[in-house]
Amino acid sequence: MSQHELTGLILAGGQGRRMGGVDKGLVAFHGRPLVAHVRERLAGRVAEVLINANRSQADYVALGDRVVEDAEGGFQGPLMGIYSGLRAAATPWLVVVPCDTPALPDDLVARLVAGLGDADIAVACDGERLHPVVALIRTALADDLAAALAGGERKIDRWYARHAWCRVDFSDCPAAFANLNTDDDRQRLEAALSPEP
């Protein structure tokens, strides 16, 4: 699978409630917005990087190739963001990542592609738990997801279970999936990733 068959999607459309309502993707981490760190794991490995954002769009325009709002308003969660990305992508495959995981592995895209096999969805697993918002998804599933959303579905794992999906093993780097839900999380991870003096 070449990069021309892949679109990247960074999910930055949430309300950031546990961070006091800030736009999480724009929170500074080592001097740059979180979303800029995540974009580096996709840039050059996909045909286009989309950012799913429901506010601060002008700020995100400079950080991705295109900004995609949720297809429906009301902050309906990551499944709506994924659907909006599936619909916007011009490629057969979509690589989904959250905006608050700045330590994702550099070879994330290659490993998701290599682990896909015959499945329609590949989901990162750190050896203990799945990370459903780190996934490779066939964009042809957009209509099925539209129907699921219309039926009230909001749980990512339940929608994945309707399709041929597989785990991709990242047990060699579980810390790469640390996500920042609070400012304390951000400070801890910044300290952990700081170079030794």
CATH number for the domain spanning 160: value is 3.90.550.10
Question: 14 pLDDT band (50/70/90 cuts)?
Answer: low
Q: How many domains does the chain fold into? A: 1
**Domain residues for 69?**
3-193
Per-residue model confidence (pLDDT) at position 104: 95
pTM of the model: 0.91
Cβ partners under 8 Å of residue 166, min gap 6: 115, 116, 117, 119, 121, 122, 123
Distances from the Cα of 196 to the Cα of 61, 105, 191, 192, 193, angstroms: 34, 20, 10, 9, 9
Per-residue model confidence (pLDDT) at position 17: 55
Arithmetic mean of pLDDT, 9-35: 76
CA-based torsion, 172, 173, 175, 181: positive or negative: negative
- pLDDT at residue 95 above 80? yes
Arithmetic mean of pLDDT, 137-150: 96
**Helix, strand counts (H, E) of the chain:** 7, 9
- pLDDT at residue 102 above 60? yes
Closest CA to 47 of 98, 89, 86, 13: 89
Question: 159 pLDDT band (50/70/90 cuts)?
Answer: very high
**Angle (nearest 5°) at CA 123 between 89 and 117:** 85
Exposure of 76 in the CB half-sphere (CA atoms within 13 A): 20
How many other β-carbons are positioned within 10 Å of the β-carbon of residue 71?
Answer: 17
- pLDDT at residue 92 above 80? yes
Q: Per-residue pLDDT tens for 53-72?
A: 988 888 898 888 999 998 88
- pLDDT at residue 32 above 60? yes
